[in-house]
Amino acid sequence: MGEVDQTFIQAADHRPKLETIEFDGIPLIDLSTGDIKVLVSEIADACKNWGFFQVINHGVPLELFTKINIAAKTFFDRPIEEKRKVKRDEVNSYGYHESEHTKNVRDWKEVFDFLIKDPSFLPASPDPEDKEIRTLRNQWPENLPEFREVCQEYARELEKLAYQLLELMALSLGLPSNRFDSYFEDHTAMIRFNHYPPCPCPELALGVGRHKDAGALTIVAQDDVGGLQVKRKSDGVWVPVKPTPNALVINVGDTIQVWSNEAYESVEHRVVVNSERERFSIPVFFFPSHYVMVKPLEELVNEQNPAKYKEYNFGKFFVARSRGDYKKLEVEDIQIHDFKII
């Protein structure tokens, strides 16, 4: 990743402005707050007004962050031929990848993906008539002592936190705390190591182009370099998510937007790069089971607030969206607005 190939260059209106502007940050929520009503209210406000927030005192052991960050850096520091031994493709979509596309433009990054549940299951194709289910398994690099164990330990801790956050989101919508649980019995959640090398032309490329997340929620551990930006709902300005020590960044995904019938919205975000420092981040994408039919929840729909989306199958939707990760397509990936009831 030396010079900037044309495939990385963003269209002029999507290139980042690199001047540093100070903003009030996204909400910071202390999960150890004893008053559950206060906590639920803070979650509701953050989800409604931002679609993003950070959490502290989240219960994930701090020493585990040190171990998982070392694991990620150790993997990416390997020679490219070693990393490509666990290269993912359209059939086996977990492992290493260095040419991911977002909105049909190549991202300035390399990734390593692994499942929380191994094996997991997804439809073989987006075709509604195709009933075949594909078995997905992790690929682990050889000769990296403790790499797999550290990844699996991190996965267990973050899975627990994801369920806790879903319970708080359910309560914040006036629902029972376990309202979402049944949708995740065979969840297809995954964890990604992102590595953003220094970029010689950061004003032309993006680490990840503007996008929304397909799942229910995303939990991101980021280092101190910074680069994540959120499109502020109130005015469309790109606001940096300043790294906060020991905090995790949470964002609402498309699935929660549909379940909540747009009480909460999934918000566009992107990653800018810089010319001097490499950056690492570790997102957890919490996806429902592949067979879940996603639609606005009955409890949140009435005559005054009718359903805003048609029902869709999560697995088929996810497989259709993921096709654009590997190559430039002629059309934009499928989005939830394709299911919007006008």
DSSP H/E element including 161 = helix 147-172
Tokens of 167: 């319970």
Domains of the chain and CATH, by start: 27-327 (2.60.120.330)
Residue pLDDT, tens place only, 79-121: 999 999 999 987 778 999 998 888 889 999 999 999 999 999 9
Q: How many CA atoms lie within 13 A of 235 on its CB side?
A: 4
Residue pLDDT, tens place only, 326-341: 455 455 678 999 999 9
Q: For helices 62-76 and 147-172, what crossing angle results, to 10°?
A: 130
What 3-state class would DSSP assign to 324? helix
Asked if 52 and 46 count as a contact pair (C-beta separation under 8 A), the reply is yes
pLDDT at 24 over 70: no
Residue 19's pLDDT band (boundaries 50, 70, 90)?
low
> Which of residues 99 and 208 earns the better pLDDT score?
208
pLDDT of amino acid 6: 87
Residue 20's pLDDT band (boundaries 50, 70, 90)?
low
Backbone angles phi, psi at 322, to 5 degrees: -75, -15
pLDDT at 220 over 50: yes
Residue 211's pLDDT band (boundaries 50, 70, 90)?
very high
Percent of residues, the chain, with pLDDT higher than 70: 94
pLDDT of amino acid 147: 97
pLDDT of amino acid 1: 45
Q: How many CA atoms lie within 13 A of 135 on its CB side?
A: 3
Percent of residues, the chain, with pLDDT higher than 90: 82
Strand stretches in the chain, DSSP E: 28-30, 52-56, 96-97, 101-102, 105-106, 110-115, 120-123, 133-136, 190-196, 208-211, 217-222, 228-231, 238-240, 248-252, 269-271, 279-286, 293-294, 312-313
Residue 22's pLDDT band (boundaries 50, 70, 90)?
low
Residue pLDDT, tens place only, 235-289: 888 999 999 999 999 999 999 999 999 999 999 999 999 999 999 999 999 999 9
